[in-house]
Amino acid sequence: MAAQAQRRVKAASNPRQRRARRGRVWAMMYHGQAIMPGSPRGTSMGHVVWTMQDAEEAIGEQEKYWISNCACRDERGRICRKGLRTCLGFAPEATSSENGRAPADKDEVAKLLSLAKDQKLVPRPFLSDEGRVVAVCFCCDCCCSYINGRKENAAGPKIEQTDMDYCTECGACVEVCHFGARTMKADKLAVNRSQCFGCGLCVAECPTQAIIMAAR
């Protein structure tokens, strides 16, 4: 018992562990409770999945920006190679953690969006009860507690549509689908639309433009 108490005291005095704990608490609060009980899949409330185009349009309507470290990646010890400063808020308190939070100009936001596209990150906005966008996370499949757990009922408002007449079954879309909606079986593309959360990453990867995003 004494040894455990000493470890707790040591952890409490470690700035990095304190920051990680704040990030973990924040991530649990938002990733676990952002969607209100009883909300239908595809709701416009809480923390959902958007396409990059929709995220860019919403971000372009904002006047002020703050960027902070991603709470999920910060908790995992900065091991992710997809970038750490990927949480974008439109008010000082609307970023994922206090660690690294700072005001950002439009050039910095443009660089973040470019990084998100290059690294195939999934835009996940935080929406207020009124549907107002207050922040956008750019999530990866290696650190994001939401993508890894998928316990939230938070698919976005759009869903994929694949025209198999134009699909060459090259498998490029499979590589970027974080949700397991697209798989290759015996060199044939299989699409499970019930697993499509509406990020649209597959659209940009398709060499024949066989995929579009449509209203759910």
Report pLDDT digits (tens) over 67-85: 998 888 877 765 677 788 8
Tokens of 137: 């996370």
State the Cα–Cα distance between residues 22 and 199, nearest whole angstrom: 28
For the chain, domain boundaries: 2-149, 158-215
Residue 202 pLDDT greater than 90, yes or no: yes
Give me the sheet containing 133-139, strands edge to edge.
Answer: 46-47, 122-127, 133-139, 87-89, 65-68, 102-104
Residue 27 pLDDT greater than 50, yes or no: no
Across 35-44, 107-116, 138-147, least confident range = 35-44
Across 52-56, 97-101, 115-119, least confident range = 97-101
Residue 107 pLDDT greater than 90, yes or no: yes
State the Cα–Cα distance between residues 146 and 201, nearest whole angstrom: 17
Domain 158-215 carries which CATH code? 3.30.70.20
Helix (H/G/I), strand (E/B), else coil: 123 = strand
Q: How confident is the model at residue 59 (pLDDT cuts 50, 70, 90)?
A: very high
* Residues 6 or more apart in contact with residue 6 via CB below 8 angstroms: none
Span 88-107, average pLDDT? 80
DSSP per-residue string spanning 77-103? TS--SS-S--EEESSGGGSS-STT-EE
